[in-house]
Homo-oligomer: A and B are copies of this chain.
Amino acid sequence: MKNILLTIEYDGTSFFGWQRQPEKRTVQGELERVLSVVCRCPVQVNGTSRTDAGVHALGQRASFKGDFGIPTDRLVVAANNILAGGMNSIGKIGDLRIVSAEEVPEGFHARFDAKGKKYVYKILNCQETQIFSRNQYYQVRKSLNIEAMKQAALYIKGTHDFKCFQAAGGEEKKTTVRTIYDLQITEEKNELGKRTIFIEIKGDGFLYNMVRIITGTLVEVGSGKLPAEAVQDIVESGQRQKAGHTAPPQGLYLSKVYYKLEDLAGL
């Protein structure tokens, strides 16, 4: 029995999230449909992270098992061909793509063997409405104080009980303690000269909506609604209602999955 680990990217705009649902277009559902055709057998895919509707991925991982003859590299080409709509028309590109695939030991599981993940949250920080970025950025109109946001980020780095950054509705977790290995905030201009702010966050695990609530809290610090120091109190309080709003899904990208602790911790 082969066990294949995929690296995939997708634009989450037109998906009802990762998880298979009847009658709805989901990433897992699309992958299983296409891989079942290519492998000529029913395929069940296990993803590392169940991203929500509208959330994107640059480096989602997923594994699946089966007794199929097609070589791994041919499988990628064939599946991508179907995902891009058969590439019949010039310039046509799909919203889901397998970046690479590799054979892994039979006991390997894309989710349970993950040691951590990196997310990127993209903010567009300018006054005038930017319609062409609406599905890929969270547009914040008020000018953000990035230095205050960086200071607030220091209270989030490290090992803490992050109950304050957990939304209701996720699956039950044994503990709400997590380690954030890195939290970088950088800024750049986009091609139209508008200010973009990227929040990169690397951790051993994330609670439900944690990155989006952290982002909403940092945005409130950046806009002056919360002082940077308040974030220390918020974390210590463990109270969701003290933290900021949940930033919208379209700015969030699952960037990378780590299977080795030394890659995650940057040692």
Q: Name A residues whose Cβ lies closer than 8 Å to a Cβ of B.
A: 9-11, 56, 80, 84, 89-97, 129-132, 134, 136, 138-140, 188, 190-191, 196, 245-248, 250-251
Contacts and interface: CB of A to CB of B under 8 A. Distances in A.
User: How many subunits of this chain does the assembly comprise?
Assistant: 2
Contact of A247 (B91, B95, B132, B250): B91
A246 B90 CA distance: 9
A10 B131 contact: yes
Of A139, A190, A191, which is in contact with the most chain B CB atoms at under 10 Å from its CB? A191
Contacts of A140: 91
Contact of A90 (B94, B95, B188, B247): B247
Contact of A134 (B95, B129, B247): B95
A91 B139 contact: yes
Given A188-B191, A196-B191, A134 B248 contact: no
B9 A97 contact: no
Given A191-B188, A191-B196, A196-B191, A131 B96 contact: yes
Nearest to A248: B91
Nearest to A91: B248
A164 to B, nearest CB: 19
A196 B190 CA distance: 13
Contacts of A95: 131, 134
21 contacts: A10-B131, A80-B129, A90-B138, A90-B246, A90-B247, A91-B139, A91-B140, A91-B248, A91-B250, A91-B251, A92-B248, A93-B134, A94-B134, A95-B131, A95-B134, A97-B129, A97-B131, A188-B191, A190-B191, A191-B191, A191-B196
